[in-house]
Amino acid sequence: MESLQNILVHYPEVTGIHPACASVPYMSDEELQGLTESVRERGLLNPIILTNEGFLLDGRHRLIACYQAMEETRFERTAEEPWAYVLDQNIKRRHLTVGQKAMFGQAWFEYEKEMAKERQKAGGGDKKSENAKKSVPPVSAERAKKQGEAREIVARKAGVGKMAIDKAKTIIEHVAHSALRADS
């Protein structure tokens, strides 16, 4: 099977894959083959969803199936919040394990952390920006509590407990560490 990145070059309206979409587990080869056969027989029934910026948000498997079946695609754009959209369209509707939901929740939490850093930097609240104040106080207990609350909120939305998100983080870190050791 051709990779999604190689398939995307055939669809210039798609500017990339949104991290929320990338965080949803892939279908099995058997499921994807069934979807491809359905698309070949009946065409694309539901449109492929892009963000307003053109990032693939929902329909990754439908796009692959259309490409493999050589069927016409249909795209729609949405202004909805990407993570919430993917949660409602995929995570809550598919039969996923707690671990798969936790991995999605952890990816969402990491994305939100990065966005918070960007907002902080843009507002001059980080140590590196030109607008930063001379003395930046250490992370307060209140701020640390908010980060913990954010993890709990994402876990609740993903349908798992905070501990499942913590385990997902540990697994991701372990896999990354193992990959780095394998490369050296």
The CATH number covering residue 57 comes to 3.90.1530.30
| pLDDT average, residue stretch 49-74 | 96
Q: What is the pLDDT of residue 29?
A: 93
**Both 31 and 69 in a single domain?**
yes
Distance CA 82, CA 88 (A): 10
**Both 82 and 144 in a single domain?**
no
Distance CA 99, CA 160 (A): 9
Separation in Å, CA 85 to CA 77, 78, 137, 158: 12, 9, 36, 12
Q: What is the pLDDT of residue 133?
A: 47
Could you list the residue range(s) of the whole structural domain that residue 65 is in?
Answer: 4-89
CB 86 within 8 A of CB 21: yes
**Residue 52 DSSP class:** T
The model's pLDDT over 126-155, given as tens digits with 9 standing for 90+, comes to 555 555 444 444 444 554 455 567 777 777
Per DSSP, what are the bridge partners of residue 49? Answer: 58, 76
Q: Which of 48, 65, 89 is the last residue of a domain?
A: 89
pLDDT tops 90 at residue 2: no
Give the range among 2-16, 59-73, 76-90, 163-177 with minimum mean pLDDT.
163-177
User: Which has the closest alpha carbon to 102: 112, 88, 116, 91?
Assistant: 91
The model's pLDDT over 106-130, given as tens digits with 9 standing for 90+, comes to 888 888 878 777 777 777 765 555 5
**Both 101 and 37 in a single domain?**
no
What percentage of the chain's residues is helix, strand, coil (to nearest 5)?
Answer: 60, 10, 35
**Both 62 and 8 in a single domain?**
yes
**Residue 12 DSSP class:** T
What type of residue sits at position 170?
T
Who wins on pLDDT, 62 or 148? 62
